[in-house]
Amino acid sequence: MYHLKILNSFAAAHNLLNYHGDCENLHGHNWKVEVTVSTPNLDSSGLGIDFKTLKRRTNEVLDRLDHKYLNELDFFKGVSPSSEHISRYIFESLQELLNSSGVQIKEVTVWESDNACATYTLD
């Protein structure tokens, strides 16, 4: 099995719901995003998926989040836009976009700071 990973980022504002502390107030992050996909097969060029394709599809998803107030987006209506939920949103959105590419989304990790992240996977 081959595993491929790309890194990307986006900036957005949010506030956590049902939370008592600083993060219940409106604030923002520069999130770093790691996307890992897996495939058992390579194409005739020796690629599991072209990194350009994976980056383009990831950008399509992150563009929906970048410079937005996450609490106002449909996916997060009534749901706290935590790093955990953001990683799931990116995972599920990419899974739809890459459905016919022959690769599987393995995991999506969202870093809200240099030392705190959340990962969503089907494991």
User: Taking 80 as the threshold, does the pLDDT of residue 82 lie above it?
Assistant: yes
Maximum separation of any 2 CA atoms in the chain, in Å: 54
Task: Please give the pLDDT value at position 123.
Answer: 77
Q: What is the pLDDT of residue 21?
A: 86
Average pLDDT estimate for 68-72? 97
Whether the CB-CB separation of 64 and 57 falls below 8 Å is answered with no
Q: Tokens for 1, please give them.
A: 């099995």
Q: What CATH number did the domain enclosing 105 receive?
A: 3.30.479.10
- Choosing from 23, 34, 92, 117, which is the catalytic residue? 23
The single residue of 3, 24, 27, 67 carrying the catalytic annotation is 67
Whether residue 23 lies in the annotated active site: yes
Q: Residue 111's beta-bridge partner residues?
A: 32, 117
Respond yes or no: is residue 92 known to be catalytic. no
31 pLDDT band, cuts 50/70/90, is very high
Number of structural domains in the chain: 1
Q: What residue type is assigned to position 22 of the chain?
A: D
pLDDT by residue (tens digit) across 93-102? 999 999 877 8
Mean pLDDT of 42-64: 96
Average per-residue pLDDT for the chain? 95
pTM given for the model: 0.95
Annotated active-site residue 117? The verdict is: no
- 87, 118 in Cβ contact below 8 A? yes
Match 């995991």 to its residue by tokens: 107
Over 80: is that where the pLDDT of 33 sits?
A: yes
**Cα 81 to chain center, whole Å?**
12
Output the CA–CA distances (angstroms, integers) from residue 108 to 24, 83, 85, 89, in the order listed: 24, 11, 11, 9
Looking at residue 81, its pLDDT comes to 96
Query: What band does 65 get if pLDDT is binned at 50, 70 and 90?
Result: very high
Catalytic residue among 34, 84, 92, 112, which?
A: 112
Which one, of 62, 57, 123, lies nearest residue 87 by Cα? 62
Structural domain for 18, as ranges: 2-121
